Amino acid sequence: MLTDIIKPHLTVIFCGINPGLKSSNDGHHFSGRSNRFWKVLHQSGFTPYEIEAVNDTSLLDFGYGLTTAVARATSRADELAKEEFDESLESFKSKITASQPKYIAFLGKAAYQAFSKKKEITWGEQPENFCGSKVWVLPNTSGLNRGFSLDSLITHYKAFYDSVYKS
């Protein structure tokens, strides 16, 4: 089981689509060997060193949290049904409203598309807030996401970092 790593008034809550099977079994976010989240987070400037998945709660020390849009673990995010996003929306809204992060970063377009009911979404900052938080949509760091190289991921996350800290 994967639990949220959240407290009130974080700078950013990073929102994965749903837990991978390994992360769910380990109880640590982004613990799959091929997932590039921790490396990208560090190399884009969010953390001063690369956090290991077993130390995922230390992300709170930097003002960041972790959650997923849908709680059910799968081997691939595309195994989720549209209804699972629909069923998760209200509890997700409650979580974000209660914690009031400055930003929410959706990792991949799927969850934000389902939650916003928008057909087309661009990468980066979104024009509307979500439960009072500014929204960014970033490429998913899953090793299954072959459309983005490590350098490309870092470029997207660095743009987000710069927006958070240089604005």
Q: Is residue 11 within 8 Å of 63, Cβ to Cβ? A: yes
What pLDDT does residue 98 have? 95
In what helix (H) or strand (E) does residue 134 lie, and over which residues does it extend?
A: strand 134-138
Please determine, for residue 122, whether its predicted confidence score (pLDDT) is greater than 80. yes
Place of tokens 């956090």: 51
- The mean pLDDT of 1-14, rounded to a whole number, is 94
What pLDDT does residue 94 have? 95
Place of tokens 């009072």: 132
Q: Domain 12-166 class?
A: alpha beta
- Over residues 75-86, the pLDDT tens digits come to 778 888 888 888
What pLDDT does residue 167 have? 62
Average pLDDT of the chain, as a whole number = 92
Query: What is the pTM assigned to this prediction?
Result: 0.93
DSSP state of 144: T
